[in-house]
Amino acid sequence: MRLSCLIVDDSEEFRTSASRLLSAQGMTIAGCAASGEEALRMAASLRPDVALVDVELGDEDGIELAAQLAESAAATAVILISIRDREELSELIRGSPARGFLRKDALDASCIAQLLGREPSS
């Protein structure tokens, strides 16, 4: 079964290219959200397998959103993504209920599956 994902990022350019890559890699793009509010709503209705959440979601705090998604009724699994190094953000990420962290340029369906403890679909 294909993994469905919700892409949460304030950059439209990233949402487009990430959707293209991940769907090319066999994932289902359940939806894209540009804000935390949108993300929570879509996660509740679309029930994706995973939400990819940008740590710096514009002026919003992606880490805070990750916690909200994880604690929501849908208990959405979250993978934090950022343009920055993990090391740079480790202090912020520490303690987060997110399943993992991926640098945006290293985005990859198999990595996502791995972080979620699933076998890659293809």
Partner 1 sequence: MTSVEQQRTRARRADSLRRALNEEAALRRVATLIAREAAPGAVLEAITLEASELFAPAAIQLARYERDGSATILAGSAADRRDGASSSALDVSRVLAAVADSGRAARTEEVTARVQSTGPGSAVGVPIVVDRATWGALLAVSTDCGAPAANAEARLVEFAELAANAVSNAQARNALRTVADLQRSLRRVATLVAQGAEPKAVFVAVAEEAARVLAVGAVSLVRYDPHTGMFTKIYGTHGERASVPDDGQWSLEHCPEGALIQATGLPVRIDDWTSIPGPVAARHREDGFGQGVAAPIVLDGVIWGHIAAFGEADEVLTPGSEDRLADFTNLVATAIANAKTRDQLRSLAESQGAALRRVATLVGQQASPSTIFNAVAAEASRALAVEHVNVVRYEEDGSATVVGATESSRFGRAATAACVAVVKEVRRTGSAARVDGSTDGASSVAAELGSAIAAPIAVEGATWGAIVVLSADALPPGTRTRLTDFTHLVASSISNVHARDKLIASRARIVTAGDETRRRIERNIHDGIQQRVVALGLNLRALREQFSLPDAMGLALDDVEEALEGLLAEIRDFSRGLHPTLLSRGGLGPSLRALARRSPVPVTLEVAAGMRPPAPIEIAAYYVVSEALANVAKHAHASSVTVTVSVDTTAVMAAVADDGVGGAALRESSGLIGLVDRVEALHGTLELASPPGRGTTISIMLPLEPNVSKERVLPGGSVTGGRGNLEVDL
Work out how close the CB of 60 gets to partner 1 at its nearest, in angstroms, rounded to a whole number.
Answer: 11
Which C-beta is closer to partner 1: that of 37 or that of 85? Answer: 85
- Separation CA 92–CA 31 (nearest Å): 26
Tell me which residues touch partner 1 (CB under 8 A): 11, 13-14, 16-18, 20-21, 24-25, 56, 61, 83-85, 87-92, 104-105, 107
Given a contact cutoff of 8 angstroms between Cβ atoms, the answer to whether 50 and 79 are in contact is yes
Residue 55: Cβ within 10 Å count: 22
Task: Tell me how far, at minimum, the Cβ of 18 lies from partner 1, in Å.
Answer: 6
Smallest gap from Cβ 90 to partner 1, in A, equals 7
Which CB sits closer to partner 1, 27 or 69? 27
Give 14 or 101: the residue with its C-beta nearer to partner 1: 14
For residue 51, list its beta bridge partners: 6, 78
Q: CB–CB of 121/3 below 8 Å? A: yes
> What radius of gyration, in Å, describes the C-alpha atoms of the chain?
13
